[in-house]
A and B are shown apart, each in its own frame.
Chain A
């Protein structure tokens, strides 16, 4: 389209791409460009970026290793702590058991003493109670005799002391 006005070579070439008079120029400058890019890339850019990437990779690997080590250490510390805790706990349990046994022993001894005392006191009390009971029974018999004698006298009879006593004794026994 309108090549006559625009084609540089003045030829009837509608597509500048097919204007072969410009090809040597383009090819020359393309080769120069490619060589420059290749040299810049292979001498400067690519080794530099490759080195940076490798650096970063090794840094990351090192950091990961350090983190792993720290983690191992933390795990070990936790394990030691747990061990110590378990030891302390068994120790404490042992002490508690010992104390409990000692207390039990003391307690048993005290209980035995107390039991013996209580038994002694009980026996003594029993004896006292028996004395008191006997006394009471004698008093009851005497009172009964007096009351029976008085009753007989009040009823107009003549109280025979021995008969009253025998009757009261028989009554008390019955």
Chain B
């Protein structure tokens, strides 16, 4: 391994940045789980809330995608 210190730092940083995706996973799981809990209580209201479900998942996911983007930037662009 004849890489330099900066190269190593990039890889470590990219690896650390991917941890942010775990937060997005928690958030998306939380939304989907709560939706399911609500839908089981009141199944007749569930189809009308599908749009809100997807919007909420999209917002939660966006922040995870940011950390993924930072990882990619560290790997390839810095």
- A–B contact, 8 Å CB criterion (strictly below): yes
Measured CB to CB, the residues of A under 8 A from B are 1, 3, 13-15, 18
Task: Give the interface SS of chain A, mostly helix, strand, loop or mixed.
Answer: loop
A18 to B74, CA, bound (A): 12
Which B residues lie at the A interface, using CB under 8 A? 72-73, 75-77
Q: With a CB–CB cut-off of 8 A, which chain A residues contact B76?
A: 1, 3, 13-15, 18
B72 nearest in chain A by CB position: A15
14 contacts between A and B (CB under 8 A): A1-B76, A3-B76, A13-B76, A13-B77, A14-B75, A14-B76, A14-B77, A15-B72, A15-B73, A15-B76, A15-B77, A18-B73, A18-B76, A18-B77
CA–CA, A144 to B75, complex, Å? Answer: 165
Closest to B76 in A: A14
A156 and B74 CA atoms in complex are apart in Å by: 180
Q: Nearest CB to that of A18 among chain B residues? A: B77
- Neighbouring B residues of A18 by C-beta, 8 Å: 73, 76-77
Contacts of A15 in B (CB 8 A): 72-73, 76-77
